[in-house]
Structure 1
Amino acid sequence: MFSRGCQYALRAVLYLAVHSEEAHPLNVRDIARALQVPTPYLSKLLQKLARDHLISSVKGPGGGYFMSPENLRSNLAGVIHCIDGPDALQGCIMGLPVCSSENPCPLHVQAYALREGLNYQLEKQTIGELAEKVKRTGLKL
């Protein structure tokens, strides 16, 4: 559904949010190791998220990434739009090149309803809320 980069970004943002009470920024190598993702790739994703103010960063020695209270109030849709673009959920579920209300695929109506529900949930849920759920339930990142 989402690109591998978007999946890594969602996991990294949640990892940072779960660890948002730590007194120091987390460096990209430690985040990549904890999530078992490639460091160079994650580094580029985190830079992009920081440019879009979805996470915060500190440069230099002892620098790294962290979640500010403002970042924690951002929604999950922002992360997806940052990495995969605003049309991330708009493609045809069957992979057809042309699929619209005027020219629907066999699953268009069902996919539209699912997409609308998912978009609603992603817009509604904040990063901080999901991080609290992860902490409370021990869900795996």
Structure 2
Amino acid sequence: MFSKTCEYAIRAMIFIAQKTKQDSRVGIKDIAKGINSPEHFIAKILQDLTRKGLLQSAKGPSGGFYLDKTSMKQSLADVVKAVDGDKIFYGCGLGLKQCSEIKPCPIHFQFKKVRQELSNMLQNARIDAFTEALENNTAFLRR
């Protein structure tokens, strides 16, 4: 459903949010280990998220990645749009360019419902909402 890049971005943002709530900044090595991702790949993703303003970073001995108050309240939809664009919210389920209400693809109306539910879930899911489940060990970011 999401690209691998987007999956890693979402996992990293949640991991960083957890560390931020613990008043900690976190480095690339710890993030990669914490979400089970390749270090070089996650570094590129985090650089892009920082450039787009979804994530903050600080250099130096006490540096690392963190989320400010605004970033903590971002939705998962914000992350998905920043990484994968908004095609998942508006695109055709079969990838057709001309799919519409007037000229629907075979799955248009069923997929429209799924797409709307997914959009609602991602819009309402805030980054900071997932940290408690991680702290309570009722949810996990690693396999």
TM-score w.r.t. length of structure 2: 0.87
Q: Compare 91-100 and 64-73 and name the one that shifted more.
A: 91-100
Residue 61 (structure 1) shift: 3.3
Distance 1:112 1:10 in 2: 24
Which 5+ residue runs of structure 2 have no aligned equivalent? none
Residue 69 of structure 1 corresponds to 69
Residue 31 (structure 1) shift: 0.5
Aligned length: 141
Matched, 1:45 2:40: no
Distance 1:110 1:132 in 2: 34
For 1:5, what is the secondary structure of its paired residue? Answer: helix
Distance 1:53 1:3 in 2: 20
Residue 15 of structure 1 corresponds to 15
Residue 60 (structure 1) shift: 2.9
Residue 83 of structure 2 corresponds to 83
Residue 102 (structure 1) shift: 2.4
8 Å contact from structure 2 (residues 57, 64) kept in 1: yes
Letter in 1 for 2:81: H
Identity %: 33
Residue 107 of structure 1 corresponds to 107
Alignment RMSD, CA only?
Answer: 1.8
Alignment of 1:102-141 (within 5 A): 102-136=102-136, 138-141=138-141
Stretches of 4+ aligned residues off by more than 6 angstroms: none
Residue 136 (structure 1) shift: 4.0
Residue 97 (structure 1) shift: 4.8
